[in-house]
Amino acid sequence: MTVLTVEHLLARHGLLHAVRDVSFTVEEGETVAVVGANGAGKTTLLRAIAGAHRPSGGTIHFHGSDVTRVPAHRRVGNGIVLVPEGRRLFPGLTVEENLLVAAQRSRPGRWTVETVLAVFPMLKPLRRARASTLSGGEQQATAIGRALMANPRLLLLDEVSLGLAPIAVEAVYASLRTVIDEGATILLVEQDLTRALDVADRVLCMLEGRVVLAGARDELTREQITEAYFGLRSRREVSA
């Protein structure tokens, strides 16, 4: 079943075209990784899908319904939940309180404080700790856990590994793998190609606002993805 359909999406920051004519789908239970260098348009794409950035053209359909102009809070109620770059926790609240904030408007589902803590065991001894005292990895785990508390039908993850120590990235992705194995539908923005390819079913590579390469992970070579990531293939085609 198709969960998300993006067709000819355009998004701007003033005069800058951040997302240019992007089209793709996400199927139920699938993890799709969006990769690309800084400024490729990845975060703007996720924010447009979440309703945090108004597109200037194109459409977004969620489970067959047009949500292109639906406000962000209603998209959350429908099951589209974004973990933004930078986590954006409530620093004065504890881990548990941050999780419970999302539970107030949660859809029915399996995710509760206890099930989140079971998947992110590093948070168990920290449930009473204030978010401001957590490490970057612990904050990222809390942010993902908070999103799960809404029992999303589509989880949008923006730059999971950004700014984290390697050991923290390893721990967060180990827990994320459990979430994926339980059948979550995920659209993941990630600069770390190794991490993205490790968990993704399909890969979209963006360059200057466009999708320049797309395909199943097993059908694309790392060389193809790397060339698209840095725009090397495009430059060769132009020079040829």
pLDDT for 235 equals 47
Question: CA 77 from chain center: how many Å?
Answer: 17
pLDDT for 108 equals 80
Confidence at 189, pLDDT banded by 50, 70, 90: very high
Tell me the pLDDT tens digit for each residue of 4-48: 999 999 999 988 899 999 999 999 999 999 999 888 999 999 999
Distance from C-alpha of 118 to C-alpha of 135, rounded to nearest angstrom: 19
Place of tokens 């459990």: 178
Q: How much is the average pLDDT of 220-225?
A: 93
Q: List, in order of start, the domains of the chain with CATH numbers.
A: 2-239 (3.40.50.300)
Give 125-139 as a DSSP string.
Answer: GGTTSBGGGS-HHHH
**Does position 234 have pLDDT exceeding 90, yes or no?**
no
Distance from C-alpha of 191 to C-alpha of 85, rounded to nearest angstrom: 12
pLDDT for 233 equals 55
Percent of the chain with pLDDT over 90: 83
pTM passes above 0.85: yes
Distance from C-alpha of 140 to C-alpha of 196, rounded to nearest angstrom: 16
Distance from C-alpha of 190 to C-alpha of 176, rounded to nearest angstrom: 13
- Which is higher by pLDDT, 229 or 9? 9
Tell me the pLDDT tens digit for each residue of 95-153: 999 999 887 767 888 899 999 999 999 999 999 999 999 999 999 999 999 999 999 99
Residue 117's closest CA among 157, 93, 140, 145? 145
Distance from C-alpha of 140 to C-alpha of 126, rounded to nearest angstrom: 13
Give 168-223 as a DSSP string.
Answer: HHHHHHHHHHHHHHTT--EEEE-S-HHHHHHH-SEEEEEETTEEEEEEEGGGS-HH
236: three-class secondary structure by DSSP: helix
